[in-house]
Structures are given as structure tokens and as C-alpha cells.
A and B are shown apart, each in its own frame.
Chain A
Amino acid sequence: MTRASTYRRQSYPEAGAGLREKLYGLNWLLPALIAVVGAIGVMMIFAATDGVWSHGAAQHAIRIVVAMGVMVLVALVNIRVWYTLSYPVYLIALALLFGVEFFGINVNGSQRWLDLGPVRLQPSEIMKPAIVLALARYYHDLASWRVSSALGLFGALILISIPMALILNQPDLGTTLLLAATGVIIVFLAGVNWRVMWMSMLGLMVAIPLFFKFGLKEYQRARILTFFDPSRDPSGASYHITQSKIALGSGGLNGKGFMKGTQRQGEYVPENRTDFIFTVIGEEFGFIGSLMTIGIYICVISLCVWISWKCKAVFSKLLILGITTTFTLYIFINLGMVMGLAPVVGVPLPLISYGGTVVLVVMFGFGLILSAHLHRNVELPRSSD
């Protein structure tokens, strides 16, 4: 009884707090940094589309603004609500993935989209924050001594592997790997002991070649093989990487200047409005511009990690770090791909690449981070108690 009353007292410290106080309490540094990243995105899309606002830059700007609104709304919602909704969100995302499986739209040989009348949804994107929510909740609820236990591991494995299998089947290798990595990192953060980590690492080393042989589509295999041996396909997949490197390299230290990139003007780098937008930054703003862009990303990531430190609840911590992980992995994979360090998989540069769903999903994630920060004093129930 006392616990309950204490709980009630502590759980809604800002229950009476007005909207103004909530807004005041938000960590505004994060939205500010995100706005800067979004602005870079708008600028670079503007350049990539040869200075035509209507070819993406304007839409991107609108999306960033709208998504930031969504982010603030999400931030204002009590973390408890998100905690409560975490499994339902996961289940909805899963249902949507099943929906894609049966009713999805086939674009370029892969079935990733769901047509819901006015909006086209990419459920695999929704799954990205959803899995973080679900795992955070799972570990929040799981007694810490169970984390490394077989049962504990099995639950996490189920949560991760079902969406993975569905997304791989679309097929979308990039997102699958991203999801896997995010999941593994959350499991790691949750405190799984090192012995289990090493053993699963070993297991992966066995599984990967098998997976490569049987689990991949032909074009995915080709992409990976091309990455390791670019001469295999000089005009196809490796053309992408070669032209991408030329764009970056020819930018030099200072770049060719805004709107002056010749690789870009010549449309040598395909998809430079979306996945390969970093080539435009590299070509037009050079090493300095590229480094500054990466620097801002590092600031965002660092801020998020710092926020996670401020939070007490396991759910909040894992939620923040999980979302940050997804965000970081996006950046790693995208930059690695653009610089020729990773195979070409369709992963966008978050908030800079053109693409509505990703912006919305990332902003939603940041909204959850802000909400966790805003409601850092809210105590969440632990069912294992």
C-alpha cells in the first residue's frame, strides 16, 4: 500500500506540471542539433537535385519541420505511456510486416512497402524503434539475474529474430543487419555476461558463411562479392562505389563549392539524393565539410549517451541507447558504404538523405529519447518485482 502510494506520488511528479513547464524542461540542445542536421540535409538535397526546390529539398524541409513537431509531441507524452505501449507498438509493427509479406507492393524486386490508401508505409522502418521499445521493456521487466540465462536469452532472441526473418524475406539485407546489430547491442547493454557474448560471436562466425550461401538473394550476394572484389562488375554495383569515391576524392580538402560539384552535375553517382547524399557533401564541401557533418552527428550521439546517463530506469536507458545505436549504425553503414568500406546496402544517412519514413521514424526515436529525459524521474514498474 505504501509502495503503491509512494509509487503514485513519485510516478507523476509532473502530473500537475503544465505544458509550458514541460516544454521548458525539454532538452532543447538535441532538437537544435537535429535541426542543424536536417538543414544540412535540405541544403544537400537542394544541391543534389540541381537547385530545384520541388525535386525534394522543399519536401524534405517540410518533413523535417513536421517530424520535429511529432518529436516534441512524442517527447511530451509520459514515458510511462511509451513503456505501456512498447509491446503493442512492437506487435503492430510485426503485424504490418506480416501485412507486407502478403499485401506489400513490389518495388525493384523487393516487397517492402505497404499501401494504406493515402500513405505508403515501410513497416521495416517502424520496426526499428519498435524493437528497441520491445527489448527495453523486456529487459526492464526481466530480473537482472535472468539476463544471461537461457530463458532470458531465448525471449530476446524471439523478439529479434521474428522481425528479422520477415524483413530478410522482403528482401532487405541492410535493415535486417541493422535490426540484428541493434538487438545484439541492446542485449549486450542489458548486461548479458561476456561468456555468452563470446560464444554467440563464435556462433555468428559459423552462421554467416552459411547465411551467405543460403539466406541471400542473388543480387545481395553480388553486392557483397563486388565489395570485396570491385573488378567483378565495373559498370554495375562497383560503379556505384567507384563513382562515389571519385566524388568524395575530387572534393579535396575544401570541396568544389556549393552547387559546383561536377560529379553531382553529371549525375555520375546514382541515388545521390538518397543513400549517396554524402558524396554531395564530400564533393562540394570537401574533407572539412565532411568532417564537420560527422562532427555534428557525433555531438548528437554523445548528447544521447549523456542523456541515458541521466536516466535511472532500465527501460529509459536501454530505450535511449537502443535508439542511439540504430541512429549510429545508420551513419556507420551509410558512410562506410559511401567511402567504399562496406558493401552497398540501401541504408540512408539519417535526417540528411531524402526519404519520408526514415525522417519520421528517426524523429519519433528522438522524441522517445527526449521523453525519457523529460520524465527521467518517473519510476517505472518492474513486473519481476
Chain B
Amino acid sequence: MKIPEVSETETINRRALFLGAGAAGVFSILATRLFYLQVTKAEDYRVLSEDNRFNYNLLVPARGDIRDRFGERLAINRQDYRVELIPERTKDIDATLDKVEKIVPLSAAERKRILKDVKENSSFVPVLIKENLGWPAFSKLNIRIHNLEGIIPTVGSVRSYPNAGIFSHTLGYVGRASSAEVEEDRDPLLRQPTFRTGKTGVEAAMEKDLRGSSGRLKVEVNARGRIVREWPDPQTQAKAGSDVFITLDAQLQRFAAEQFIDADGETDSGGVAVIDVITGEVRTLLSMPTFDGNLFVSGLTQNDMNSMNNDPKRPQFNKVLGGGYPPASTYKMVVMLAALESGLIDPANPIFCVGKVRLGNRNFHCWSRRGHGPMTMRQALKNSCDSYFYEIAHVLGIEKIANMARRLGLGQTYDIGVAGQRRGIVPDPEWKQGRLGTAWRDGDTFNTAIGQGFTLATPLQLSVMCARLANMEKAVVPSLLIGQELPAFSNLDVNREHLAFVNEAMWSVCNEPGGTAYKPNGLEIPGHQMAGKTGTGQVRGISTSERDSGVRKNSKLPWKLRDHSIFVGFAPYDAPRFAVGTIVEHGGSGAKRAAQISRAVLAEALRRDGLGTTPVSDSDAVNETPTGANNTIGGVSGRNGTSSSSNLPPRL
């Protein structure tokens, strides 16, 4: 029965051999496959492996500073103390946050945001706990770091504006890029959560220069994105943004800001622009009150937002560029020049002011209720007689006035690189028809003659107008950015003699007793005088009954209803360097706040320019006799020697 064992073991041996052959076959397949992967396709897989391996981390460039004309830094990068958490280094995130909270208070919302960030990122990705820590908190954290697992205090860079907001309107501020910006600008920097881009002002206008270019750090990463090692490559370093210089004079601007604080310590609302009469460079561009641009960088709280929005003085509003105000009597130079150019008006021919001019059944009042009596053109400007200008405007017609206003720079924006300029309005029949759809009336001409009605201008425009008057040759165009290519100024094309006549009349406003802005030795710089013109911008209609019972004084009115105080001027009169345009919202008559501020700022600008730092000797003080130039325009002598300093030559 026994089956021979030989045959049985033989079967096993044979079948083992058979399977061995099969195994050899399988091994051959495996070896072939290996050959295919590791030799035939090696190159492909090498490339894939490199792809796997390297990531490029963006290096954020340092943002360029913004500096004033003397190099003072107006926008800088400040070290920002932050605290971050690496979730994988702590066992209990909540407990760690509790410990941190003892040093750095965290709101419930912040904690929620932190926990959300932790959840959404890999556990080795640092999550920001809080930024903008004070030094005491930061150093406390550093001291207790040993029992704060996973907590790392870091120092970052954040935009900072050192001048407490005085430059905020001009500089603008930076913020996180909006999704629209990311869409438009493909720069990957914008997608960095810590990156800030210019939102307004110079920050936005010069974004390209300030930003610089990102660098790339080649990093070897693992499957989860953790950096295994860095491969520094000098060619891909971040290139810091370049500094941007602006034409402003920081000290002058600070000085101007101080002038806006009134006697009661209240900050007046308004704007002032000081520009170089020759180059057009803006030396001061201030809107008051200001806001702190730093708040926008760190993130505005609802409180800040509310207090800013509820302030009737609208600190966020850039009045110097964007505020449209009736230029009021400062518009009278425009009417004057138009009249002289037309030849229709003899400036020496007096017009009698009785306090009002009747047009149809309507009375147009002069600010002087009793009337100025007989007024020549020069006297009319000096006293700011409204009746005179009603009359001559009536003769001239609106077109000539509007044309002159435009030539003097009103009703237009300038390419100063910063957005937010208001165009203002130079009203004429075409404008009215287009805008209001009604025909121009003579009454409109009357209103325009004294810079009221539809007329609107910004402080910057007024300063430009004044600079063109003072320059006499060129149509000065303002500029704010140093290094920006500027077109050559075109000729002003206004008769020089006419301009000299207007300038001289403006001189009389400031330097002759009875002038609306008369103040002896107003600049307080010996040998130098200013010229200018006040304006009082009405913001309310005055009813007939109020007129009869006496127009209410500004001080008796609520702030919102008070007149705007306006002033334009230039100095020195004999060799103009700077022109100023100032508006103080609801500041009362132009002779008051606006004139005070303008005077002080012009004097400071001159002092900073080197005038008055050395005493002017008597022989230097101009002592020439007037030429007959004035006479040719109307025989107004003007120089009666009553001004505080010696007579000045006519500017021809």
C-alpha cells in the first residue's frame, strides 16, 4: 500500500523547480520594471523629484521711505514687535494662549481668529497671535519664553508715519491689498498676508518705486511644505523699494499746522498750500485737522472710525486738494485782469458804491452796508468793494471772466501725482446749461464777480492762481514729487502791466491802512512785504429781513453757518518766492484766520528760504522811485509812503 516515497518527494522537487522558474520569471519582470523606472525613465523622474523638492518663498522687500525736500523721513518702516505661535510645539494651545493672555490681553475675537488660523494651516506654520506689541509686553514675553511652549516673539517691519498725521493726507497710507488689486496687479507680493500696499496719496501714487521687487528664496521643502533647507542665491534677493522725495518742507508744514490751532487751543478746519512761485514746487500741502495714518496700517478700530466719521471737521477729508470752496473776493483779481484785458474798463475811473447794486428787482449787496463811496479799481480791491465788481462784471460779461479764471489755473486739476483733487468750478453759461440745464442770468454774473454763486476752488488752486499772478510770466503748474519729469510751463499770456497793476493792488490790501488785510510789517521780516487778498466765503443766504435788522455776526452763528475765511497771497512782494492759498472753514472773515495763517506761513517759508536770517541793510532796502508804469494803467500812484516799510517799486 505504501506509495514509494521517492516518487512523492520527486514530485515536490519537480514542482519546486517549476515554481522556481516562475519565481525567476517574476523576478525578471521586477528587474525589467526597475530598469524601466531607474534607467529608461530616470530623467523624467529626476525632473519630477526636483519639482517636488523645491519651492520658492517670496522675500518681501523693504518699502522705500518717503522724505521731504531736505531728506527728512515722513514715512518709514518701523520695527514691529509681534508674537506668533507654532501649534505643533505646544500640547495645549488654549493653555498656552491663557499664559500669553496674562502678558498680552487677547480679545475673544482675536482668540477665535487664532484658533481658526491654527486649524487652517499645517501645524508647523506660525500663526500670528498679536502684532504691534509694546516694548514692555514684548520683553516680558521674551523673559517668560521658557514656559510658553510654541510661542515665538518676532520682529517684523511695519509702515509708520512719525509726524502725528500732519502729512497723512498727502502721504496717504498703506494697507492690505484688496482682492481687486490682487486681480489687477499680478505681483505675488500682494498675496502675502503681511504685505502692505499704498492705498492713497503718495503711497499709492509712487507705489511702483516704493515697493521694490520681491526676492525668491529657493527652499527645499518636504511633502507637507516644511522647509528642509534654504538655498540662498544672491540673484534672487529682494530689492528694497527706493526712497521717494517730495517737494514738501516738513518743518514748514509743521509750522503751518501749528498756525491752525486757534487762541482757544481748538484746531481750525481748513487747508493751506504754499507753492514756489518760480518752480511750482509745493512746499506745504496741509489739510486740518489731520488723522493718524498709523491707525490705518495697524487696522482701524470701530472707535477710531466713528470718532473720525462723526467729527464735523472731517479729519479724513483732504481739504487742500479735495475741498471746493467759493473763492469769494480772492476771485476779484480774475475779474480785474479780465477787465483790464478787455479795455472796457478804465481802472482809474471811480464807481460809486452805495452798499448795493440793483439788478432788475434784486439787490446785490456790498459787504459794506453803508457803501464805500467812489472807488477806483485799485481802491475797490484794497477795500474789497463788491459793488465795483458787480458793475464791471456786468459790463464785461461772464465769458471774459471765466476765460481769465481758467488761464490763472482755476477749474482744473494738476498732475501732481496724488489723486483726490477736486476740479472746482469756473462757472459760465455753457457750464450752467450743461450742469443745471438753465440759462445764464446776469445775477449769476454778479455772484461770480465776487467769487460766490457757483464758483468753487481748492486751496491748492488758489495758491496756483496766486503764483501765476506773482510769476507774471509763466503759467506755473504745481508739482509734488521730486524727480518727476515736468513739462515746461507755458506762457501765462496776460499783459505784464496788468499783472503788475493787480499785484500792486494786492500789495495795498496788506500794506496800506484800510486794506482788508492791513498789518504793518506783516511778515516781520525787515525790508520784505507781502501782497494778498482776503476772501469771505458765504455759506448761507442772508435774507432781506436779516439784512434790515443787521447781519448776524459770525461769532453769533453756529460753527457750520459761519463764513469761510479765505486768503491768497505771495511774498516777497518785490521778488516773489512763495504763493499761498488758505481756507479756514467757517473761520469768519478772510482778514482773520486765513490771513493770519497765510502771513505766518509765508514769513516762515521765507525765513526757511534764507530771507530775514541776516538783517537787511538800509541800502539794500528797496528805495527806488516808482516808474510811470502804474500811470499807464490808470495813474494810480499807490505808493503813498504810509506802509510800514519803505516804498516798493512797481513790479515790471
**CB of B103 closer than 8 Å to a CB of A:** no
Is A312's beta carbon under 8 Å from chain B?
yes
Chain B nearest CB, measured from A71 CB (Å): 22
Can you list 5 A-B pairs with a CB-CB distance of less than 8 A?
Answer: A191-B15, A266-B52, A266-B220, A266-B222, A282-B34
Smallest CB-CB separation from B6: which chain A residue? Answer: A312
- Is A267 part of the binding interface, using a Cβ–Cβ cutoff of 8 Å? yes
Task: Contacts A188-B19, A282-B38 known; list 11 others, CB within 8 Å.
Answer: A189-B19, A249-B42, A252-B38, A265-B220, A267-B222, A282-B34, A287-B34, A291-B31, A305-B16, A317-B16, A336-B30
CA of A266 to CA of B44, assembled, Å: 18
Which chain A residues border B20 with CB–CB below 8 Å?
302, 305
Question: Within the assembled complex, what's the spacing in Å between the Cα atoms of A339 and B31?
Answer: 10
* Residue on A nearest B26 in the bound complex, by CB: A332
Q: Is the CB of A290 within 8 A of B221?
A: no
Q: Does A106 sit within 8 A of B, measured CB to CB?
A: no
Interface string of B464-484 (1 = CB under 8 A from A): 000000000000000000000
Give Cα A270 to B222, complex, Å. Answer: 11
A249 to B36 CA separation, bound complex (whole angstroms): 8
Are B11 and A191 in touch, CB under 8 angstroms?
A: yes
Interchain CA distance A332-B46 in the complex, whole Å: 25
Quick check: B34 and A325 within 8 Å, CB to CB?
A: no
A250 in complex: contacting residue of B5, B23, B46, CB < 8 Å: B46
Return chain B residues, CB-CB under 8 Å to A265.
Answer: 220, 222, 228
> B45–A249 contact, CB under 8 A?
yes
Which chain A residues border B38 with CB–CB below 8 Å? 248-249, 251-253, 282, 286-287, 290
The answer to whether the Cβ of A247 comes within 8 Å of any Cβ in the partner chain is yes
Q: CB-CB contacts of A240-259 with B at 8 A, as 1s and 0s?
A: 00010111111111000000
CB distance from A334 to the nearest CB of B (A): 10
Tell me the dominant secondary structure on chain A's binding face. Answer: helix
A317-B222 CB under 8 A given contacts A144-B3, A248-B45, A341-B33: no
With a 10 A CB-CB cut-off, give which of B9, B49, B220 has the most chain A CB atoms: B49
Among A144, A188, A268, A294, contact of B27 (Cβ-Cβ < 8 Å): A294
Tell me how many residue pairs across A and B have CB atoms closer than 8 Å.
135
Separation of A148 and B228 alpha carbons in the complex (Å) = 61
User: Contact at B9–A317, with CB atoms within 8 Å?
Assistant: yes
Q: Give Cα distance in the complex from A189 to B3, angstroms.
A: 17
Decide: B224 and A339 in contact? CB cutoff 8 A: no
Q: Measured between alpha carbons, how far is A95 from B7 in the docked complex, in Å?
A: 36
Q: Which residues of A contact B33 (CB under 8 A)?
A: 339-341
Beta-carbon nearest neighbor of A320 in chain B: B16
The answer on a CB contact under 8 Å between A291 and B52 is no
A308 touches B16 (CB 8 A): yes
Complex interface bits, B42-55 against A, C-beta within 8 A gives 1, otherwise 0:
10111011101100
Residue of chain B at shortest CB distance from A325: B19
- Beta-carbon contact of B9 and A252 below 8 Å: no
Contact of A246 among B11, B16, B49 (CB under 8 A): B49
Contact call B34/A268, Cβ cutoff below 8 A: no
Alpha-carbon separation in the docked complex, A290 to B53 (Å): 23
From residue B187, how far is it (CB to closest CB) to chain A in Å?
A: 28
| Beta-carbon contacts under 8 Å, B227-253 to A | 228
Question: With A191-B12, A266-B220, A339-B30 in contact, do A247 and B3 touch (Cβ < 8 Å)?
Answer: no
Q: B12 contacts A189, CB within 8 Å?
A: yes
A254 to chain B, nearest CB (A): 9
Inter-chain contact B31/A268, CB cutoff 8 Å: no
Q: Mark A290-323, 1 if CB is under 8 A from B, else 0.
A: 1100100010011001001100101001100100
- A 333-357 contacts with B by CB, 8 A: 335-336, 339-341
A122 CB, nearest partner CB in chain B, Å = 26
A27 touches B (CB below 8 Å) = no
Residues in A with CB closer than 8 Å to B13 are: 308-309, 317
Report A152-195 residues with CB < 8 Å from chain B CB: 185, 188-191
List residues of chain A with CB within 8 A of the CB of B120.
none
Q: A188-B15, A341-B33 are contacts. A253–B223 as well, Cβ < 8 Å?
A: no
- The chain A residue sitting closest to B49, CB to CB, is A250
- Asked whether any CB of chain A lies closer than 8 Å to the CB of B56, the reply is no
Give chain A residues whose Cβ lies under 8 Å from the Cβ of B50.
262
Let me know if B39 and A253 touch, CB within 8 A: yes
In angstroms, Cα B49 to Cα A268, docked, is: 9
Q: Which of these, A144, A249, A385, contacts B37 with CB under 8 Å?
A: A249
A294-B31, A339-B33 known; A266 vs B221 contact (CB < 8 Å):
yes
- Chain B residue numbers with a CB within 8 Å of A336 are 30
Is there a chain B Cβ closer than 8 Å to A145's Cβ? yes
User: Which residues of A from 202 to 261 have beta carbons under 8 Å from B?
Assistant: 243, 245-253
Interface: B2 (CB within 8 A): yes
Q: In this complex, what residue of A is CB-closest to B225?
A: A266
How far, in whole Å, are A269 and B214 apart by their CA atoms in the complex? 32
Residues from chain B with a CB closer than 8 A to the CB of A314 are 5, 8-9, 12
A319 to chain B, nearest CB (A): 11
Cα separation A188 to B20 with both chains bound (whole Å): 13
CA distance A163 to B44 in the complex (A): 44
**Does any Cβ of A come within 8 Å of B145's Cβ?**
no
Would you give the shortest CB distance from A190 to chain B, in whole angstroms?
Answer: 7
**A143 within 8 A of partner (CB):** yes
B35 beta carbon closer than 8 Å to chain A: yes
Q: Is the CB of A191 within 8 A of B8?
A: yes
CA distance A60 to B484 in the complex (A): 72
B344 located at the interface, meaning its Cβ lies under 8 Å from any Cβ of chain A in the complex: no
- Cβ of A263 under 8 Å from chain B: yes
Any B CB within 8 A of the CB of A328: yes
Q: Is the CB of B34 within 8 A of A262?
A: no
What are the residues of chain A within 8 A of B26 when measuring CB–CB?
332
In the assembled complex, the Cα of A377 lies from the Cα of B256 at a distance in Å of: 114
Q: Is B41 an interface residue (CB 8 A)?
A: yes
A190 to B221, CA, bound (A): 54
Residues of B within 8 A of A263 (CB): 49, 52-53
A325 to B16, CA, bound (A): 10
The smallest C-beta distance from B634 to any residue of chain A, in angstroms, reads: 90
* Contacting residues, chain B, for A298 (C-beta < 8 A): 27
Partner of A335, one of B11, B30, B45, B48: B30
Complex alpha-carbon distance, A298 and B9, angstroms: 23
Q: Are A267 and B223 in contact, with the CB atoms below 8 A?
A: yes
Q: Does B164 contact A (CB under 8 A)?
A: no
Q: Given the known inter-chain contacts A308-B16, A336-B30, please indicate yes or no for A266 contacting B53, CB distance below 8 A.
A: yes
- Say whether B29 faces chain A, with CB atoms less than 8 Å apart: yes
**Complex Cα spacing A191 to B222, Å:** 53
Residues of chain A with a CB closer than 8 A to B48's CB: 246, 249-250
Contact of B34 among A317, A318, A339 (CB under 8 A): A339
Chain B 40-77, CB-CB to A under 8 Å as 1, else 0, gives 01101110111011000000000000000000000000
Contact B34 A291 (CB under 8 A): yes
Check if B45 sits within 8 Å of A144, measured CB to CB: no
**A248, B34: Cα distance in complex, Å:** 8
Closest to B24 in A: A298
* Chain B residue contacts of A266, Cβ below 8 A: 52-53, 220-223, 228
Say whether B34 contacts A185, CB under 8 Å.
no
